[in-house]
Amino acid sequence: MASVAIFFMTVLIWGSTWIAIKYQSGPVAPEVSVAYRFLGAALVLFLWCGLRQLRLRFCLRDHLFLALQGLCLFCLNYIPLYWASKWLTSGLVAVAFSTVVIFSLLLSRLVHRNPIEPRVGLGACCGVGGLGLIFWPELNGLVLSDLTLIAIGLALLGAFMGSSGTLVGSRNSKAGIPVVQASAFGMLYGGLATAAYVTLSPLEWTWDPAPSYSASLAYLIYFGSVIGFWGFLTVVARMGPERASYIPVLFPVVALAISTLVEGYVWSFEAAIGLALVLSGNFMVLMKSGGSGQKSSSAKDKVDPAPAVTDSAKAEASPSRLSA
């Protein structure tokens, strides 16, 4: 699949997971649901790797980085966001999480000494500003308090951990670890870390017998996790962590469109202008992804991350085969 096609597929999938996550709320603690989700997704991916006889042996150093990737992407960014959702509206959490773009740009500059392209930086700012307009009614009604400030800090922490995970994922791709195996081990380590937290905390392992819980969990495992993170990490490998981190800026717009159809969301003038800004920013960020900018980046690093995605082409050629 073309890189841009995978990018928008991931946006659509992750944009739809907000509805599924809504059906996860209930008697089961969010941390328990996160553990169920990523341990289940890891099991699916390892079964796939076994059926396709994909390489699963990596050195200790690679496993340490896979564990770090899993801790950042599949544990420490989700738990703070679930906590923040207890005290903030979903729109404000989405706005706070969209700062993952800014964190990724800054971390990439700090860690890899990568220059920030003016077009990419401007596009990211347009995206964040557009989301601010979309969710302006919630932002305008915000009353600062101790709990609110703590929740904002938790949401920003989740965004920071997510951007850190994309950088680690970029390292793993350049080290020759294919996307499917990186996702499998990352979700396993992240799920185990979350499970350890649940076991050691006062939380209880429970299950919601409602069909909506099981159905939404299955969707989050297969689409939101297995296919969604395959797409996200593939974008990281092919287009870089800065452009991949723009996905969390765009997918709340998809969630908002679904909310319009399912929940009767009413668009305002500010929301329409905000959507235009988000789409404009997305265009600016992606404009050089298939051109000279990508080639020069590959030449500079002397590593073409695409082979890490295509080494197991038969197994990783398309998301539909992953979901088989």
Q: What pLDDT does 243 receive?
A: 76
Longest CA pairwise span in the chain (Å): 55
Q: What pLDDT does 95 receive?
A: 73
Q: Measured between alpha carbons, how far is 64 from 68 in angstroms, rounded to an integer?
A: 6
Q: Are 276 and 282 in contact (CB under 8 A)?
A: no
> Is this prediction's pTM over 0.85?
no
Q: What pLDDT does 106 receive?
A: 80
Q: Measured between alpha carbons, how far is 51 from 45 in angstroms, rounded to an integer?
A: 10
Per-residue pLDDT of the chain in tens (324 residues, 90 and over written 9): 688 899 999 999 988 887 887 787 778 898 999 999 999 999 999 999 999 899 999 999 999 999 999 999 999 988 888 787 777 766 677 777 777 777 877 887 788 777 777 887 788 788 788 878 877 776 777 676 767 778 888 888 998 998 898 889 888 888 889 888 998 999 999 999 999 999 999 999 999 999 989 999 999 999 988 898 888 878 877 887 767 767 877 777 787 788 778 767 777 888 889 888 887 877 777 665 444 444 434 434 433 333 333 444 343 433 333 333
Interior/surface letters 240-259, b for 16+ CB within 10 angstroms, e for the rest: bbbbbbbbbbbbbbbbbbbb
Q: How far is CA 48 from CA 100, 135, 274, 321, in A?
A: 31, 40, 41, 10
Task: Give the 3-state DSSP-derived string for 196-234, with helices as H, strands as E and coil as C.
Answer: HHHHHCCCCCCCCCCHHHHHHHHHHHHHHHHHHHHHHHH
